[in-house]
Structure 1
Amino acid sequence: MSKADALGGSATFDAVAQPMSSRAASFAAFAGQSSAPSATSDTTHTETLRVPVDRLAHNPYNPRATLAAIEEMADSLAGKGIIQPLTVVTRAVFLAAHPDHASDLAAAEYVVVDGNRRLAGAALAGLDDVPVHVDDSLAQDADTLLETALTAAVQHENLDALDEAQALQRLVEVHGSQRAVARSLGKSSGWVTQRLALLNLTPELKQAVSEKTLPLDVARTVGQLPEQQQQSAAEQVLQQRATKKREKTAKKAEQPAPFRKADAARPAAEGQSARADSSDELQVLAQELRGRLTPEQVQKLIELLLE
């Protein structure tokens, strides 16, 4: 049984696997590691070119449940264009590994492995074509294409937290362990464990994560607890944070306002009335006024004070 078959349970990830070939080389090439050996298969080719948007198909294996913030992406692309080429494979090579997905591709000549959000943004922005990097080594078999799509998605920081957790779980099933996934991504085992913890949350807490009402650090912590303890633990942490925030705000409000630069040598407002009786303080004030006012102004000020 192939790793892709072992995933099961989802039409998206059900694929017809072929024998593994040049897997390490294809992933090294995708990651940009120049030390990796180059693929030598007769059916593999790589090149960079510009392709009309309507000749590109979204990857059926894209781990993103939804392509978020497409409007913002479109605005950016309309002004600056696409800087980083999309990574694609040719239609023929994709269907050789996944013959059941022909209907998903329509008339497209290429399938996007990395850059589905950029493709959606380009279409919305009305771009005629986009730069692409064609690398058929990434689709030599079902396992490699699956792993490439998941790895590319996880490496994007703007991937939705739950989508990221699901992608990591599938990578664990492909690699066989969390440690192997961490090594493949250049992350720590703890990094993987914390993100997978989101999948253990109750449906209510998952909804809170999706709605961004539950901070991710709290969600990743309580997700490692038994389900019956998660809700109360989350509420306790949030309550503690709210209390600390109120205390910090109250403490800040009790602090005296900063002195104005011109009044830096004067006493603080709360102690000013008591200290103003000091003859030394009055002398300092009188000297300061004499330095600022003309004799006529001093006389006028005295008259005003005596009224």
Structure 2
Amino acid sequence: MGTASWLPLTRCLANPQNPRDPGDVSDLASIKDRQLQSCRGISSSAYLKLWPEDVDRLEAAADSIVIINGNRRLTAAREYGRENLLVLVDDTIAASRAAVLRAAYDENTARQDFDPIEEAKAVMGIVSQYATAKEAAKAEGWSESWISHRKNLLKLHPELQQEVRARAKGSKEGDGISINVARRLGSVKGIQGMDLPSQRSALADLLQDDAQAAETAKKIRRQTKVARKARTQRPEHGRSTERFPGENSGPLADQQSGEPGSSAAAETEDDPLAEASLMLSELNGAWRRWGRAMAELQAAEAAAGDPLREEIARAVRRLATASEHDNRTVPDTFPAPVA
């Protein structure tokens, strides 16, 4: 590794492979009087060994330095009239194209204002230096799905990408497109070949599906809450405690029903293990009843199918893909009930 030294701006060159647009550098105006952090660069000769096609873009003198970390500082120095920069020249990072690109990426991702589109471009620039995404993932310590998420963002029309950037920079929730929605939109089959109106139509469909899935989930939670509350209430004197076939029987059923001769109902309020056992027993009974009901329904509607069940399955799949942990998949059919 080299040592830091003061270099005149005439020797400092911006990195042609920098994935980030310097943008507004007014926040670095103080660099005119004081540089708070050194830059990091490689010699122009080391750079051109990796990217010989950039020789015309650099127009470099033999002793020029290409800034890898600190391009915004370089832009600010030029804009605000600074004459030199403290630069650490380190040609060891020029071992490969991927190594140079990763060095720039690592610095940029450490900064909060590195937006998701810039990050996606940086990541795919690194990935392009490998034969396959799988090879890139292994070499860089990423997962293939993590790479795929970034790639999906770049399939969107530039105007939609700007909306992703706007949302990431703190615009109101109703404005822009969230990163999660954008990644899922990018996974729609054929999205990259669509024009802007078609992509907006696909986005509208996606948001509508999300709204329907959220409403379905809300109804299910509400119904579950009501049912659970009804099940945990003790029956009043004279009320029937009849249970469906396959429901709890034995001590746990007595705990739930609060039948005379059993004090376990009160014990579950103070015993987390007993309460958990009760909930598990209830779930198993409900699962058995569900299995029998589904068998009857499928037999009765073999020709027409089961639209409600398909709608719920579709809603669950939509919620699963909406999660950041969308590597999990939801099956098209539910598992067989517990025997």
The alignment's TM-score, normalised by the length of structure 1, stands at 0.52
Query: Partner residue of 1:119?
Result: 74
Contact 2:7–2:87 (8 Å) recurs in 1 = yes
Query: Partner residue of 1:236?
Result: 208
Aligned pairs (5 A) from 1:1-307: 46-64=2-20, 66-72=21-27, 74-78=28-32, 81-106=34-59, 109-140=64-95, 142=97, 144-146=99-101, 148-149=103-104, 152-153=107-108, 156-178=111-133, 180-182=135-137, 184-212=139-167, 213-226=176-189, 227=191, 230-236=202-208
SS in 1 for 2:117: helix
Q: CA deviation at 1:114?
A: 1.9
SS in 1 for 2:3: strand
Q: CA deviation at 1:198?
A: 0.6
Letter of the aligned partner of 1:116 in structure 2?
A: N
CA distance in 2 between partners of 1:47 and 1:126 (Å): 25
- Summarize the Cα distance change of 1:105–1:217 in structure 2 as closer, same or farther, 3 Å threshold: same
SS in 2 for 1:219: helix
CA distance in 2 between partners of 1:165 and 1:232 (Å): 23
Q: CA deviation at 1:184?
A: 5.0
Query: Partner residue of 2:234?
Result: none
SS in 2 for 1:84: coil
Contact 1:218–1:237 (8 Å) recurs in 2 = no
Unpaired stretches in structure 1, ≥5 consecutive residues: 1-44, 244-307
The alignment's TM-score, normalised by the length of structure 2, stands at 0.47
Spell out, residue by residue over 1:63-113, the C-alpha distance to the aligned partner (whole angstroms, 9 max, x if none).
22x2223222x235347x333321111123323444443333335511112
Spell out, residue by residue over 1:41-63, the C-alpha distance to the aligned partner (whole angstroms, 9 max, x if none).
xxxx6222121222200011112
CA distance in 2 between partners of 1:92 and 1:67 (Å): 24
Letter of the aligned partner of 2:31 in structure 1?
A: L
CA distance in 1 between partners of 2:80 and 2:209 (Å): 43
Unpaired stretches in structure 2, ≥5 consecutive residues: 168-175, 192-198, 216-339
Spell out, residue by residue over 1:5-57, the C-alpha distance to the aligned partner (whole angstroms, 9 max, x if none).
xxxxxxxxxxxxxxxxxxxxxxxxxxxxxxxxxxxxxxxx6222121222200
Contact 1:151–1:185 (8 Å) recurs in 2 = no
Spell out, residue by residue over 1:238-263, the C-alpha distance to the aligned partner (whole angstroms, 9 max, x if none).
979xx9xxxxxxxxxxxxxxxxxxxx
Contact 1:63–1:163 (8 Å) recurs in 2 = yes
**Matched residues, number:** 194
Letter of the aligned partner of 1:75 in structure 2?
A: A
Q: Which has the higher contact order (CA 8 A, sep 6+)?
A: 1
Letter of the aligned partner of 1:119 in structure 2?
A: L
Query: Partner residue of 2:304?
Result: none
Which moved further from structure 2: 176-185 or 116-125?
176-185
CA distance in 2 between partners of 1:188 and 1:78 (Å): 42
- Summarize the Cα distance change of 1:233–1:121 in structure 2 as closer, same or farther, 3 Å threshold: farther
- Summarize the Cα distance change of 1:187–1:156 in structure 2 as closer, same or farther, 3 Å threshold: farther
Q: CA deviation at 1:148?
A: 4.3
CA distance in 1 between partners of 2:18 and 2:133 (Å): 21
Q: CA deviation at 1:174?
A: 1.9
Spell out, residue by residue over 1:215-268, the C-alpha distance to the aligned partner (whole angstroms, 9 max, x if none).
22321232222336732245438979xx9xxxxxxxxxxxxxxxxxxxxxxxxx
Letter of the aligned partner of 2:40 in structure 1?
A: T
Contact 2:6–2:86 (8 Å) recurs in 1 = yes
